[in-house]
Structures are given as C-alpha cells and as structure tokens.
Amino acid sequence: MTDELSVTGIEGYGYHGVLEFEKRAGQKFLVDLTLGIDTAPAAASDDLHDTVDYGSLVTKVLAAVEKDPVDLIETLAQRIADVCLLDDRVEWATVTVHKPDAPIHATFADVTLTITRKREVLPRD
C-alpha cells in the first residue's frame, strides 16, 4: 500500500537556464512534490522517525534548487527527484518544477515540467 505526501509551492531562487542572463541574474523557481510512502508505521507509532520528515526534505530540495546552475529544468527536476529518493521510505516521487519568469516573449502564466521517478529495485541474486 502506498500513501501520498505532498508539499506544494516550495519557493527558491536559482540561476538555471540556457540564456546567459538567466545564469547571471537568476530567477524564482517553485517546486511541488508528491511522494509515495507507507504512512502506516508512523500512524501506529506517532513517531516522526517512522515517516518522511517533510521539513527536512524541503530544506534539501531548496538546496538542490539553489546550488550549481544547470541549463534545463529537466536536469533540475531530476536532481530534486534524486534528493527525494534518498530516503528509503520514498517509493516514488513526482516533482513539478515551475519557472514562472521564463524568458518567453508572450504573456503566459507559468512554465512547468512534471516528472515521476521510482525507486530502482535491484534484482536479487
């Protein structure tokens, strides 16, 4: 059984983009996370150690947004998914990266990319 834990609207500032001025000036990025986890152990114990600490996870996600610039939001989304999957309790992660200030010469509300990544299951010997 998999439950879903979501944190939406995580706001960070990064220097990602293909264009040189994006890397120089930076811009706001928003991140939405949905994680597949089994919450039954935490519900039974009422202990934070038995679940994903979403406060700690958000800090790590922000660090992923704010560190080393990349060209594409595809790369940034993968970096964030990798951070989420570091916790063995996370079975899968859906990550949406919003780039509301993307350099597009038209009126638009947002640019988003959503990816879903699953924990890799290694074959048994």
Q: Would you give the distance in Å from CA 108 to the centre of its chain?
A: 23
How far is residue 100's CA from residue 29's CA, in Å, rounded to a whole number? Answer: 7
- 46 to each of 39, 50, 68, how far by Cα in Å? 10, 8, 37
Residues labelled as active-site residues: 99
Radius of gyration for the chain, computed over Cα atoms and rounded to the nearest angstrom = 16
Q: Which residue matches tokens 């999957």?
A: 85
Reduced to 3 states, what is the DSSP secondary structure of residue 88? coil
